[in-house]
Amino acid sequence: MFVTFFNELKSAGVPVTLREYLTLMQALDADLASRKVEDFYYLSRATLIKDERNLDKFDRVFGHVFKGLETLEEVADADIPADWLKKLAEKYLTKEEKEQIEAMGGLDKLLETLRKRLAEQKRRHQGGSKWIGTAGTSPFGAYGYNPEGIRIGQEANRNFRAVKVWDKREFKDLDDDVELGTRNIKLALRRLRKFARTGAPEELDLDGTIKGTAHKGYLDILMRPERHNAVKVLLFFDIGGSMDWHIKATEELFSAARSEFKHMEYFYFHNCLYERVWKETRRRFQATTPTFDVLHTYPHDYKVIFVGDASMSPYEIAAQGGSVEHFNDEPGALWLERVTRAYPACIWLNPLSEKEWGYTHSISMVSQLMSGRMYPLTLDGLDRATRELTR
């Protein structure tokens, strides 16, 4: 059983190792799971999963291997009206009545019985001790009571007696394939962190104070600068046009970056980088910054991130005067080459799905100019991008 579990995790793309599997076996030999399914779930998750992005995959595999999750999916797909599972009544039993209800004898027995109920039940049921329904003493359903059962269609825990809770999949939003949120972007950007103590001495140096006091024989209070993320980031955002479809993802990235990096600067451009950039879109033709000034202001140790869908006419990249907004004296490709030469750590994040890149010639051109350092704006793409920036 456990070897199957290990192999299923590997097949699902969860990076578990033999060493972690053997650690789980040692924990089971030590009876750390207390012979309870839920305890085994938490023990195996803590032992085998080292990256929170894999928690949802783990939940799905756990439910599949131990015959739980697919059963609940059958409930969702069965021809049972959804309103059957709504709360229609709350049944209160006396202490003596609860003591008379016997458990069914383990998870395997519960699941096998649930399969039979799904095959046999044809209509809504309320109350009683057998069918899937509400307000009864059956081990299957919602808003009733049974000392050991499977909770189906109930908003929250009530009696803390259900033997299977991993179907909740609380970590679904951490999966590699889901849409990014500000929190997930922060987690990905933290790979870039490099801490250093800079600024005025404003923080108590406890270790130094103890050492100095012991050495001098009197209280010697020492202070030190606060510890800050020393990584410096320069962001270039494509704004307007087709990027209007990706405002939410771009805003989330901008918000996360501002909270993660003390040294961060940003500028806007449209479609491709040219001789000027700006910080206020409404004044993009009046208050601009020459791109040369940006290159000469921020040193080469800045990490540069372009954010844009790179979807435009190829002329906007390769030709003089190809810009759709003004006559550019030099092609956009030349400006991108200047940036990549000035900043060794430079990547491009594209909010379009990676499988769509091949349909737009300009995306291939930009990717080539970036030496292949273009990544999708997904959790996995950010992970690969931050690895590139920290090389």
What's residue 229's pLDDT?
A: 57
Confidence of residue 75 (pLDDT cuts 50, 70, 90): very low
Highest mean pLDDT among 46-50, 96-100, 163-167: 46-50
pLDDT digits (tens, 9 = 90+) for 317-331: 999 988 888 889 999
Nearest to 359 by CA among 309, 292, 293: 309
Asked if residues 48 and 58 have their Cβ atoms less than 8 Å apart, the reply is yes
- Range scoring the smallest mean pLDDT among 80-84, 119-123, 238-242: 80-84
- Range scoring the smallest mean pLDDT among 17-26, 57-66, 125-134, 261-270: 125-134
Confidence of residue 280 (pLDDT cuts 50, 70, 90): confident
User: Does the pLDDT at position 13 exceed 60?
Assistant: yes
The mean per-residue pLDDT over the stretch 103-128 comes to: 57
User: Does the pLDDT at position 366 exceed 90?
Assistant: yes
Please report how the helices 55-65 and 37-48 are oriented relative to each other, as an axis angle in degrees rounded to 10: 140
Please report how the helices 18-29 and 37-48 are oriented relative to each other, as an axis angle in degrees rounded to 10: 150
Give the Cα separation of 156 and 38 in Å (integer).
17
What's residue 277's pLDDT?
A: 94
What's residue 101's pLDDT?
A: 47
Give the Cα separation of 20 and 10 in Å (integer).
12
User: Does the pLDDT at position 106 exceed 60?
Assistant: no
- Range scoring the smallest mean pLDDT among 191-200, 241-250, 311-320: 191-200
What's residue 374's pLDDT?
A: 96
The mean per-residue pLDDT over the stretch 55-76 comes to: 64
Looking only at the bridges linking them, the beta strands covering 232-238 and 263-269 are: parallel
The DSSP annotation for 261-322 comes to: -SEEEEEEEBSB--SEEES-GGGTTTSEEEHHHHHHHS-TTSEEEEE----S-THHHHSTT-
User: Does the pLDDT at position 372 exceed 90?
Assistant: yes
What's residue 159's pLDDT?
A: 45
| % of the chain surpassing 70 pLDDT | 63
pLDDT digits (tens, 9 = 90+) for 229-270: 578 889 999 988 888 888 888 888 888 887 777 788 999 999
Give the Cα separation of 61 and 391 in Å (integer).
34
What's residue 230's pLDDT?
A: 72
* DSSP 3-state of 330: coil
User: Does the pLDDT at position 346 exceed 70?
Assistant: yes
User: Does the pLDDT at position 376 exceed 90?
Assistant: yes
User: Does the pLDDT at position 334 exceed 90?
Assistant: yes
Asked if residues 252 and 181 have their Cβ atoms less than 8 Å apart, the reply is yes
What's residue 76's pLDDT?
A: 43
* Choice between 88 and 130, residue whose per-residue pLDDT is larger: 130
Place of tokens 């004296």: 329
Give the Cα separation of 331 and 273 in Å (integer).
9
* DSSP 3-state of 39: helix
Please report how the helices 55-65 and 69-77 are oriented relative to each other, as an axis angle in degrees rounded to 10: 90
Query: What's the distance, CA 29 to chain centroid?
Result: 33
- Range scoring the smallest mean pLDDT among 64-68, 99-103, 316-320: 99-103
Mean pLDDT of the chain: 75
* Choice between 150 and 351, residue whose per-residue pLDDT is larger: 351
What's residue 216's pLDDT?
A: 85
Q: Radius of gyration of the chain from Cα atoms? A: 29
Write out the E strands in the chain.
133-134, 140-142, 150-151, 195-204, 223-229, 232-238, 263-269, 276-278, 288-290, 303-307, 346-350, 374-376
What's residue 87's pLDDT?
A: 46
